[in-house]
Amino acid sequence: MKIFLDTAEIEEIRIAARWGVLDGVTTNPTLYAKVGGSYEDILRQICDLTAGPVSAEVVAEDVEGMLREGRAFAKLAPNIVVKVPMSEEGLEAISRFADEGIKTNCTLIFTANQGLLAAKAGASLLSPFVGRLDDINEEGMEVIRELVPIIEMYELDSEVLVASVRHPRHVTEAALLGAHIATVPFKVLQQMVHHPLTDKGIVTFREDWEKARKAAAEKDAQTAAAAGGSGRHN
Ligand code: E4P
């Protein structure tokens, strides 16, 4: 399963790229609002850090507006994917972008049917929001459980991108369900790295290593002292 970072923070993307685990990036207007500045500059910088797909979201609600914004994003870098919300207008825009050879990520998907429609319209990426469904006491992963086999059974040319990930367990479940991609906040990526027993084990190994080195150094010193002492008597 591919792992995307769900952020517009350049430093977080740089770190994940250095770890060798970064397959792409998703942004949205809320993530962009957290960093501010020029959205276009941020997207260009992200595209310099990863060759994987970088999602840039349109905010227009009409087809022509979505097309205008999306075409401008697509000119920024070859790996830009235009993020379009699930709606009647969104489906039309996705279909028009597909005709123009511009890749899209259909966002704000909450049912397998919405995912099926987006795939048929020509979206490369389908983004079901699992966390927001969990937030309203629904089972977010159920959408992934239904959508992944539908995409595979009908050999649709789209990938299921699990979005709105809240914790590492979402990532494990996404992988077990055969999702193609999970996009994760940097904090979740860090949580995936750590385990209390791993972190404790690293500290214990270092302490034991230092104790052993100290004991070995003391033994060497005693041996040298003994050898020096017996040399004087001879
Ligand atoms: C990513 O493509 C989505 O926009 C993002 O995962 C939404 O996450 P949220 O529900 O935590 O805002």
What digits encode the pLDDT tens for the residues 30-57? 999 999 999 999 999 999 999 999 999 9
Q: Encode pLDDT of 124-163 as tens digits.
A: 999 999 999 999 999 999 999 999 999 999 999 999 999 9
**Residue 154 and residue 17: Cα distance in Å, rounded?**
34
For ligand 1, atom 10, the nearest C-alpha belongs to 164
Which secondary structure element, helix H or strand E, spans residue 43, and what is its range?
Answer: helix 39-49
Which residues are bridge partners to 24 per DSSP? 4
Q: Is 183 exposed, middle or buried (0-12, 13-18, 19+ CB in 10 A)?
A: buried
Q: Which of 164, 170, 181, 186 to mutate to test the pocket of ligand 1 (most atoms within 8 A of CB)?
A: 164
Q: What is the pLDDT of residues 72-103, one digit of tens each?
A: 999 999 999 999 999 999 999 999 999 999 99
Element (H, E) at 108: strand 104-109
* Phi and psi torsions of 58, nearest 5°: -80, 150
Residue whose C-alpha is closest to residue 182's, from 164, 198, 197, 205: 164
User: Please, what is the average pLDDT of the chain?
Assistant: 96
In the residue annotation, 83 being an active-site residue is answered as yes
Residue of 23, 28, 86 to mutate, ligand 1, most atoms within 8 A of C-beta = 28
